[in-house]
Amino acid sequence: MDESYRRSLLARVPQQPPFRFIDEIVEIGDDLVVGRYRFQEGSDFYRGHFPGDPVTPGVILIEAMAQAGVVALGLHLAEASTTPGGAGLRTMFSEADVEFTGPVKPGSTVTTTAHKLYFRLGKLKVHAEMRLDDGTLVCSGNLAGVGVCAAETAHAVQAPLSPARGVAKPRHSTTMAAVSRLASERNRRLDGMRFLRRRLLGVDLP
């Protein structure tokens, strides 16, 4: 894809500073995405992790890999699909199995490369690797996310105060309900597909 498309795709990633961890989409295709990011020395999380010897938290490294490998690639695949409303999906991070093999210090530039494992029924799963500029592997693993209609995520849960006790009263989250409905529908379809493949071909879906 050309540079103008990559810039446009980056602009559509919903995470914004100070919680955006992609500076550039270097490469994008139907099976691969490559993104780069430089961790700024002044980022607030370094003040407590760890004072005097700051290291980028693992959860931030996972977020950086997910923003490139799941969100950006997921947007590209959804918009390129023929599914009605594909362009209106927002990716909800759903799972991670990541191994950490090295530290990322403030000021380091990292490159995330993610390869699609599968994209079906609104769910994207990738294998991602993050490396420093010298090629050192700092973390790798499998990440996944589910596409949810952006209109539904706009009605995020709010917890009003209870007049009687002055505490927050939980309210049903429409976002999580949307994720649950999509996951249930996906599982129902996969069960049907597995049944048909077992009957017709004698094989099962992964």
Cβ proximity of 25 and 9 under 8 Å? yes
Helix (H, G, I), strand (E, B) or coil at 117: strand
Name residue 99's beta-bridge partners: 140
Choice among 49, 76, 115, 172 that is catalytic: 49
Q: What is the secondary structure of 31-59 as a DSSP string?
A: SEEEEEEE--TT-GGGGTSSTTS----HH
- For 108, the 3-state DSSP assignment is coil
Pairing state between β 123-132 and 137-149: antiparallel
Q: Residue 96's beta-bridge partner residues?
A: 143
Tokens 């602009």 belong to residue: 11
Residue 103 DSSP class: -
**Virtual torsion, Cα 33, 38, 42, 47, nearest 10 deg:** 60
Active site residue 49: yes
Which residues make beta-bridge pairs with 28?
Answer: 33
Task: Give the catalytic positions in this structure.
Answer: 49
